[in-house]
Amino acid sequence: MTVPPPSFTAQLLNLFAAGLLLISFAMLSQRRTRSLIVLFGVQGAILVASTTLVAYSAGLRHLYFSAGLTLVLKVFLLPWILLRLVDRLEAQWDSEPMINIPTTMLIGVGLVIFAFGLAQPISALATTITRNTLGIALAIILLAFLMMITRRKAVTQVMGFLAMENGLFFAATSATYGMPMVVELGIALDVLVGVFILGIFFFQIREQFESLDLHHLEKLKEE
């Protein structure tokens, strides 16, 4: 039995998914905080493009709203807020990660292989046009989690959390054509409020320890 070639839309979606994965690796190896924020904005832009393409190909109007919300929040608003925080806190560079960059990248490759193996049975049962990108979506989530646990600075850990949320959104789009609109609005509001709260938290850490390195918090003990 001859397997039909993937459509142009499916190929373009796979290209967007590959771009998201490459940016995740770039974020994992990046030590300059401003460049990390720029990469997060680029990742959001690719996410907008892929969501818009899925909305057009599947005829799902609510995904257009999701793409617009992602554009405003993750491409413009959050990067602008984070860049201003970095300038105010003078946190241009991240400290040396807990694991060196080459070892981190090798662990990242292993996580990608694990994600593809984990997603393969689910992708085989899926009927959506985005079923082949589910493994990449899971890989993005795992790479973002790896970035969170291997960095010391609070800002870069927050970037890992935001990148993980991007991966979750892409996974939802890949598996079920997105989440209900009420859920998406709630998540967007939670992320925005969370970034504002964490911004205040950053200033408190900087004022107390004159550094954003979270290992200082380990020295706190109850009197």
Indicate the average pLDDT of the chain.
77
State pLDDT tens for residues 113-135.
Answer: 999 888 887 766 666 666 678 88
- Among 44-58, 116-130, 180-194, which stretch is predicted with the lowest mean pLDDT? 180-194
Task: Look up residue 108 and give its amino acid.
Answer: G
Q: What is the pLDDT of residue 6?
A: 60
Distance CA 159, CA 27 (A): 9
Return the half-sphere exposure (C-beta side, CA atoms, 13 A cut-off) of residue 184.
Answer: 20
pLDDT at residue 72 greater than cutoff 80: yes
pTM of structure: 0.80
Q: Helix 33-58 crosses helix 62-70 at what angle (to 10 degrees)?
A: 170
Contact in structure between 28 and 157 (CB atoms under 8 Å): no
Q: What is the pLDDT of residue 20?
A: 93
Q: What is the pLDDT of residue 221?
A: 46
Task: For residues 210-223, give the mean pLDDT.
Answer: 49
What is the CB neighbour count within 10 angstroms for residue 127?
5
More confident residue, 94 or 215: 94
- 145 burial (CB, 10 Å; 0-12 / 13-18 / 19+) is middle
Contact in structure between 39 and 119 (CB atoms under 8 Å): no
Q: Binning pLDDT at 50, 70 and 90, where does residue 197 land?
A: low
pLDDT at residue 140 greater than cutoff 80: yes
